[in-house]
Structure 1
Amino acid sequence: MKTIFFNIYYKLTIESYKWIYLKYELSTTNIEFQCINEVQDVFYSFVFQKTPQKIIPTIENSQQLKSITNIQEQLINNQTNNNADVIYIGLYNNQSKTIDLQFKIVTYNDDNNESMFERNKIIIIITACVIATLLLFAIGISALRTRKQKQIRKQVQEDIRRNLNNDQQQTNRVFDPAIYKGFQIRFIKDHFKAHYYDKFISIYPGLSQFQECAVCLEQMNKGNNKLQRICSVTPCFHIFHYICLQEWLLRQKNCPFCRTEYTRKKIIQDFPWLDIGNLQIKNTDSNYLSRIKNQIESVNESRIELNNHQQIQQTQQLEEIKD
């Protein structure tokens, strides 16, 4: 009888229709038999050390050996009546030829399983704590952002109310003639309307080149608050922050960008130079304004238009000379 140990492969030769017997000391009931080569018509059986030798394995109480055979349940059931720590294993060759079998016993220590379970449990708890912390942090950031947005919204509303809707206060404003040489505030409000920059550019994409206000040099397309995204356009089709243009026109009567001079008569005559509500441009005969609306400007078209205009002028001059 050969004594074997766990996790070591043994090369066993079993004669035809013969038994071989192995001795193994139990350290745990969580064990299994493993065979490298293919197993056919090989049976196994085992008894505990205190079992009378006369019932050591017989074909009647044997089971077929597989490549992997777990015997934990059989050990537990049989160990209730036998407290021995040694088992005798019988392997039977039910073939007409001798076989070479590579056989080993694999053990799974219960303590290792428990420690692995505890380790996995700790990892799960730590992961849950980290996720909960991240969620709380995200909720906190979201709450702070919402609070900040509410504060900005409230401030914007107060600014708009103060700058756009408080006409009486603006009308009663005390102007210094040496500084405020432009138009009156009521006239500016009536003829230089406020528009949202995004909506304005979606209607007139040709004016998208104006992304920052030439007065304050701040962005209009990416304004930090609602007030900074409200713009106004001049008769010469330049865009500024509504508040900036309002303050500028209180001081002087020209465009902050191109310095074109304005008069009350010209502004009243041309207004509205851009009709946002009806998607129309006043003075539709202007090729420049048409290109702003439809965004079809190209170098070749401009050259063709200029050449045609020059040809018409030359023809008119020739006709005048002939006459």
Structure 2
Amino acid sequence: MIQFLLLHIIAIKGQKLLKTLELYGNNEISGIIKVEKNDENLLIAFYFENVNYPIALVSREEIHDTDFNTTVKPIFIESQKVMFFDYESIQIHYHTHLIELNYMDNIYYYARDRFGPFKLKIEVYSKPRSTCTNNCQGFIISKTMQNSKCNQNCECETGYFGSYCQFELLRIDQDVNYKIHLSPHKAVYLSFQFDKEAILIADDVIDPITASFGLLGYKGFEIPDQTSYTAILHSQLSLTKLIQNFKIKFKDANTLIVGLQSQTDQTINIIMKPEQTATILSGNCMFLAFASFNIIMIILCFGVTNLCKQKEIIVKKRRRIKVRPPKIENNPKNFSSQFFKKYFESYDYEDFVQINPSYSQTTQCVVCMDDLNLKEISITPCGHVFHHQCLMKWLMKILNCPSCRFQIIYQQVIDGGWLGSKLSSNSLSQLQNSKSQPTIQGSSFLIENTENADIVQMMEKVDEN
């Protein structure tokens, strides 16, 4: 009884309303408040009406739009000005902002809303200095629910939380169904005591719901943070991972606050259940183990098969495959360069014409159409002269004379005996005094007018001479 009377006396003497302002604005309202000098703290209460995202700031200096940025948490970017604000109310878009500060002669205020116009009421109170931030000394504002219990520490009564115990809180138990109405720009806060695993199940959800999380009793982490811990609730939401992270960071934490917000007006059913984590004997894990085993077996079979193929390829490469040379009676389609160099003689054109004057009129290679005197020459079994390299490239592709299309026989070249053969018994020096020149000259005439059989006979006569 005595304690109650003391609290009542403190409530009467402890609070004093110094000034009241009622204002209207479009998007922002700013001004200055002057109060009588006193040695106590001041508490300024901002009451917003018809707002969605209210912000209230107080400073010793005039405040402008460029002095702050509310995109993240909010962060105030002007370092030269000291500003006071109710971070909790800004964070959850609460319609009442409470700001404590030491006495100032001139109090500059700034209030705004993202969507205007709006109505604002400002009340300035004096407050005794106290380390207790939730007004356990009896400071009571009529429009703000003050539900505190004052023992050695100031704590909020069940059903409220925040620095001033100004936010309502609905405690839920597991396996109990709760019907909750959600309105745009207004959050509903739930709390429950957690252990390890939990899942939040929602029925009759029309539009996705934003869920943000906080920890009861941890200043700075108590108000659900929409920037750090946020998830989307469609039909159900697992909270197990979040609870495990909170348990690691805050070992004594046991009460989770869940803030629910919706862009549309809807009524949902909420129930909290313990989450059944999968065990090794559950159907999902058995299926996963079976699938993993099959994948491993397929990989092993593929690896063994690939290894066998690699060994087989290596063995085949190590084997030496003997290739038999073509039979002499089977004439090939062309000559190799080694074969040509072995059986075809090369001459200097001037030396060759000096020994064989009958070829003096042949001055052009019909393969490249250049002068024969520019390079070394060779002669075909049918008696036509070409550049040595031109004739070799030609016979490596086709076994006909470039000039008369006489078919050059493989065996005929090997046997030799013709003028351009390296195996000819008549060397270039021996042919100088030989009477075979008229015969060769005549053979040139025969080559152009006889068939292949006559050419072979003519070449044999030349060889005999």
The TM-score normalised by the length of structure 2 is 0.24
Greater share of strand residues, 1 or 2?
2
Q: Return the index of the structure with the highest Cα Rg.
A: 2
Greater share of helix residues, 1 or 2?
1
Point out which structure has higher relative CO (alpha carbons under 8 A, 6+ apart).
1
